[in-house]
Amino acid sequence: MNRTFTFIIIWVLLGILTHLYAQSSTNKDFFDPQSIQEINLTFKANNWRFLLDSLRFNGDKMLAADLKVNGASLGRVGVRIRESGGFQPGNQRNNLHIQLDYASANQQLQGYRTLRLSSALRDPSMVREVLATDIARKFMPTPKANYANVSVNGQYYGLMVNMEPFEAPFFERYFESSAGSFYYCPAIRKDTLTKSGCLNGGFGTLQLEKSESCYGDNFVVVQGAGLRDLAELSRVLNQAPAQIESILDVDRTLWMLAFNNVVINLYSYSGGKSTGYYLYRDADGRFTPLIGDYNFTFGSYKYTGRGSDLSLLQLQQMDPMLNADNPLKPLVNKLLSNPHYTKVYLAHLRSILFAELLTGTYETKAKQWQELIKTSLLNDANKAYSGTDFERSLIATIGRTIQVPGIVELMNERVRFLKRHPALAVLPPTISEVKARHRDKYAATALEDFQINTKISEFANKVMVYYRFGPREAFKSAMMFDDGQHQDEKAGDSIYGVSLKAGGNRIEYYIQAENVKAIAYSPERYMFERHAATMEEINK
């Protein structure tokens, strides 16, 4: 009896410990960039490679497998090879899509229903996706990324990049809702034929089509009722660009275009075919473009649509105003035809350049990630490049037929080129001493409004404050003046101020200062960081 009781206690304790281990292994951010996940798949069939290849050629069906993540069992899942231009039957390490809710509708991992594993095609460094998303995430909606050691039926499949999927956690983080319409412009068309009357080779450029159905030649409706919203975006963009802010988040779009240009991401809207990107329409009815594939950043894909692939020198010296004069790229051409949007675009380009590249931080991080994955990569018998190529991939071009520039080799010279470019040579105003006025020490009455002051360098001709009183509110704007009407100001002293009627206890805000040719922001990363003050603070 005692032995039986002891066995039951041990069995229960083992069950509790196993459950706690499973929780601890999946509660930590699955996309923590400093960690490598362990993913194990078990198929019943030994010829699983052949079956996955066959399914990839014959639709989007999946092969069932059992999944473990960091030692914790997640049960039965569906697996298929992700669509990509690099797929070849018999490849030893292909991009993988794992459907967690394949057998059970409620099965998920930290809110995600899928796993998105990249083989890092055409990236001997293995850091392009993780490094590029780390930079982009500071300025615009961007998925997280880290690494995973993937094993199949007990054999090491390879080191892969673990990309956050575009699902509820992502959309709720950036858009506060995952219920919006969602479109994808794939690089590979399932049907290469274009409908009669539709543009031939328009890809995802958003050129105006004669029929709503034409947009179906290039876009997949991932979520939503159909193509009508997309057709309306194209109509406004091409025929009524003055109304574009009613249907497009212009600022986020300009951030994406600036990022694509600085880091040479041509496997996106900015490149020759304008494919491989997404469009999400939020609760306010405005679209935001999202980069779909970061593997070809830093010049791995070199086609602009004008002539042949760019050489290393041409990549380093690619025009920061690429496609501004190209009517076949209306998302660039129409936006940058607006002088104000051009100044905003160049401000974003300047922020990415000076905050992320000029400092050399990107190189330090690239080396740190390479050190993190080095052992896993060298043990990967299915890797596409040699260990020597991996070691040299930051500073030297790798490959003969397909040449992949070294990240540092490319970007150090690109930084020098952009710093000297006339479009960026004009200095924007300098914004400093941003603060909310505090109540005077012996004042009898409390402040009821927020008075915002800032010092602006000479030659600013327009200073704006953008503000809101709640995290779900849209930002409002107000002009700031150097008129001596506010405390501590004298007309002409470069101290700009404005009083804002309080609409809540807390205000968050950012400053935009503009001169004839350039714009500056404070904070620079105002999309995610803002100045703030509360009534309690200013009335102390």
Q: What is the mean pLDDT of residues 111-125?
A: 95
Quick check: is 52 in a domain? Answer: yes
- Classify strands 36-42 and 145-152 as parallel, antiparallel or unpaired: parallel
Mean pLDDT score of the chain = 91
Integer Cα distance of 540 and 536 in angstroms: 6
Radius of gyration of the chain (CA): 26
Place 10 in a pLDDT band, splitting at 50, 70 and 90.
Answer: very low
Give 364's contacts (C-beta < 8 A, 6+ positions apart).
Answer: none
Is the backbone peptide bond immediately before 523 cis, with ω within 30 degrees of 0? yes
Is 152 in contact with 48 (CB distance < 8 Å)?
yes
Residue 259 has pLDDT above 90, yes or no: yes
Is residue 454 situated within a structural domain? yes
Secondary structure, 3-state, 180-225: CEEEEECCCCCCCCCCCCCCCCCCCCCCCCCCHHHHHHCCEEEECC
Tokens 């041990």 belong to 10
Q: Is residue 135 part of a domain?
A: yes
Q: Tell me the pLDDT tens digit for each residue of 204-214.
A: 999 999 999 99
Domain end position, chosen among 118, 134, 168: 168
Task: State the CATH number of the domain containing residue 454.
Answer: 2.60.40.10
In a domain, 361, yes or no: no
| 294 located within any domain | no
For residue 139, being part of any structural domain is answered with yes
Q: State which of 168, 186, 207 marks the end of a domain.
A: 168
**Res 200: pLDDT:** 78
Q: What pLDDT, on the 0 to 100 scale, is given for residue 444?
A: 83
Q: Residue with structure tokens 């012996």?
A: 442
Give me the mean pLDDT over the 424-444 stretch.
92
Domains held by the chain: number: 2
Tell whether 515 is covered by a domain: yes
CB-based contacts of 422: which residues, under 8 Å, 6+ apart? none
- pLDDT above 90 (res 88): no
State the burial class of residue 373 (Cβ atoms within 10 Å of its Cβ: 0-12, 13-18, 19+): buried
Note whether residue 96 is domain-resident.
yes
Q: Which of 147, 168, 189 is the last residue of a domain?
A: 168
Question: Each residue of 180-232: pLDDT tens digit?
Answer: 999 999 986 655 567 788 987 778 999 999 999 999 999 999 999 899 999 99
State which residues form the domain around 472: 431-538
Yes or no: say if 288 and 249 are a contact pair by the CB < 8 Å rule.
Answer: yes
Per-residue burial over 171-198, b if 16 or more Cβ lie within 10 Å, else e, is beebbeebebbbbbbbbeeeeeeeeeeb
